[in-house]
Amino acid sequence: MQSIAIDMDETIADTLAKFISWYRRDFGVDFDHDALRGKEISSLVPPERRGIFLKYLDTPGFCRDIPVIPDAPEVLEKLNSRYEIYICSSAMEFPNSLKDKLDWTLEYFPFLTWRQVCLCGNKHLIQTDIMIDDRSRNFQYFKGRKILFTQNHNFSETGFERANSWKEVEKMLL
């Protein structure tokens, strides 16, 4: 059975949507979807507020109810019967997120067990056959098949096999 490492933030969890909703709550400002194309959300806010998103990530509760990326539960459930799958998140920078991330995964992906959740400091140790991630920097030391999950911030990156949605992952791997 082949193995897959699946990223959490912005791959199965719509962390950007949660950033936008908390930023709206705190500053009364919304983001134009088109303005986010090819950009990091932190680059679109005043310099003194750039650190707010890292603070959000380490706020207890922030990671507990992030919306799920469409179709991820259905497709992961199918993948789970054909592959050894692991949810991998380099989350140690945000210690308050750790329990939330575990609880979130087991609630929205109830067919997974805690043995399939890997919260780590970086992803260089991952040696699965396939990795699905929205951050190409996580592919740097990875030797298997790399699938870049399309998100606004990586929109203009080239040179990677891409999945634009979980429906596309389903077609690629099932």
Tell me which residues are annotated as active site. Answer: 7, 9
Site string for Mg ion, 111-150 (x = CB under 5 A): -----------------------x----------------
Residue 84's beta-bridge partner residues?
A: 3
The residue within the footprint of Mg ion, chosen from 4, 5, 10, 90 (CB under 5 A), is: 10
Binding flag, residue 14, Mg ion (CB under 5 A): no
Separation CA 65–CA 18 (nearest Å):
9
User: Of 27 and 141, which has the nearer Cβ to Mg ion?
Assistant: 141
Nearer to Mg ion, 65 or 82 (CB): 65
Q: How far is CA 51 from the centre of its chain?
A: 19
Q: How far apart are CA 33 and CA 2, in angstroms?
A: 36
Give the C-alpha separation, 95 to 60, whole Å: 9
Contacting residues toward Mg ion, per CB under 5 A: 7, 9-10, 134
